[in-house]
Structure 1
Amino acid sequence: MADEDPIVLSFGDSLLRKSDLDLLSAPNWINDRIIGFCFEYFEREQFNHSADRISLISPSVAQFVRFAPVEDLIMVLEPLHLPSKQYVFLPINDNPDTDCVGGTHWSLLVYVRSKQEFQHFDAFRGSNQSIARKVVDKLQPFVQAPRSKLRFIEMECPQQENSYDCGMYVIVMTEHLIKEFCECFSVGVNEAVNQETVRQKRKHIHDLILELSSTDVNSVHHHLSPGH
């Protein structure tokens, strides 16, 4: 019997199936595998020029950070060399379980070393703030941020206009913030990200996955952005 949910793409640590690809058609909630793929693509390909400055933590590791005892985090986080990174990105999921597959909302947490800040970008303002703060408490020693100076800031950011685009906002805001931080983009996230850019990004990611699936991924250096 043929596989009813065939593998579409194997990219680094990301394994995407047809059911994942189908989520890129609205109105669908983006899952951890799509976010994980985009984070991996950003770090390995699109923004590899800044790989020494940024760390994009996968949804599964971010969820592990939230729930695991501190002593269990050492083996997972130390290989990421977070003390040497200027910017650390984590997708935050509100699932009260250890599994990030469930839940109803995604938001974005970013550590900015130069400001000693954890910045929280939530497209449904305030929804994940208490969860993000718990992740900050767990992550603080591993980024080697001085606790006495560390700040948590709920950032003004674009707000979703529906109930299903939170994961897409995390992806689009992450991409834009890396451009701001590492490529000197002067347009702020509030001006650059909106419902229309999120809608377009769904198609761009869908097309990129199909392109990568039919190409030698080691030779592809296309961007998620339109026009690249």
Structure 2
Amino acid sequence: MEDEVLRYKGVVLRRSDLDILRNPCYVDDDIINFYFSYLSSFCCSQDILLVPPAVSCCLASDEDLKDHLEHLKLSGKKLVIFSINNCDFSCGEGGGTHWSLLAYYRDMNAFVHHDSMEGTNRWAAEKLYEAVKGSVGAASVSSASASKLSSKGRNKNKKGSAAAAKFTAAPTSAPCFIEHHTPQQLNGYDCGLYVMAIAKVICEWFENECKGKGDQWFSAIEDKVNSSVEDSMRSEILSLIQEMKNDN
């Protein structure tokens, strides 16, 4: 068996994961799961849920859907973050070539898809959205929040604008799906780094900025996520792993 490097909250990282982070390679689900677990441990709010990649895949595949949804208790969360992969959605199977992020925000009554290779994973994100949208419970959206979402959608993305307009008209209806403009990766393998960087920004925004503001995290992503994450996220996660190893 390959040497273990670190065990953290049920996630096992191995030497091959370090090699992935040290080289220009596609990030696997173990690394994303580790980073999501790390973010979860530092989020003070119990209103945030970061769903492990394997669970997101199972939800999209409709395998054991009821059991997974009951365990996640989505109706009790204000912010839920999923990683999206373009695999074949066979639960427990690997594969896939691209990661993106889907975030549900109750105050917005919407699932927002962020894809660093815009359009590539929309079908996969919509599949997960269809699987879980009925399990998040009711939401009530302020007119101010709806108005800002609609405005940002018009400025950033025509598809997002159309979804936002529909959402504004019926704020207490089922949550809508929005494909929102996202900073774009410069190569074909760093998508997972963008997912982790965007998840970090959204969690920081929720913890520090959103309270009392009828705003979304979109401007924070535009300000903080760019091509620099293709190097900085690898270094950050490697340093984090080393720190945890030293503490053990």
Same topology, TM > 0.5: yes
1:95-120 Cα deviation digits (max 9, x unpaired): 12414531100000000100100000
Residue aligned with 2:117, SS: coil
Gaps of 5+ in 1: 217-228
1:165-204 matches, cutoff 5 A: 165-184=190-209, 188-204=220-236
Residue aligned with 2:69, SS: helix
Residue aligned with 2:84, SS: strand
Moved beyond 3 Å, runs of 4+: 145-149
1:102-142 Cα deviation digits (max 9, x unpaired): 11000000001001000000000010111111101111122
Cα RMSD, aligned residues only: 1.8
1:17-166 matches, cutoff 5 A: 17-44=14-41, 46-47=42-43, 49-50=44-45, 52-69=46-63, 72-98=64-90, 99=92, 101-145=94-138, 148-166=173-191
- Partner residue in 1 for 2:238: 206
CA distance in 1, matches of 2:180, 2:32: 21
The percentage of aligned residue pairs carrying the same residue is: 35
CA contact (8 A) 2:134 2:174 kept: no
TM-score by length of 1: 0.86
Gap change, CA 1:33 and 1:133, over 3 Å in 2: same
Greater displacement, 88-97 / 119-128: 88-97
CA distance in 2, matches of 1:197, 1:167: 10
- Partner residue in 2 for 1:220: none
Residue aligned with 1:110, SS: strand
User: How much has 1:6 moved relative to structure 2?
Assistant: 0.4
Gaps of 5+ in 2: 140-171, 211-216
1:67-115 Cα deviation digits (max 9, x unpaired): 024xx22222222221111010000000124145311000000001001
More helix by share: 2
CA distance in 2, matches of 1:182, 1:165: 26
Question: What is the number of equivalent residue pairs in this alignment?
Answer: 208
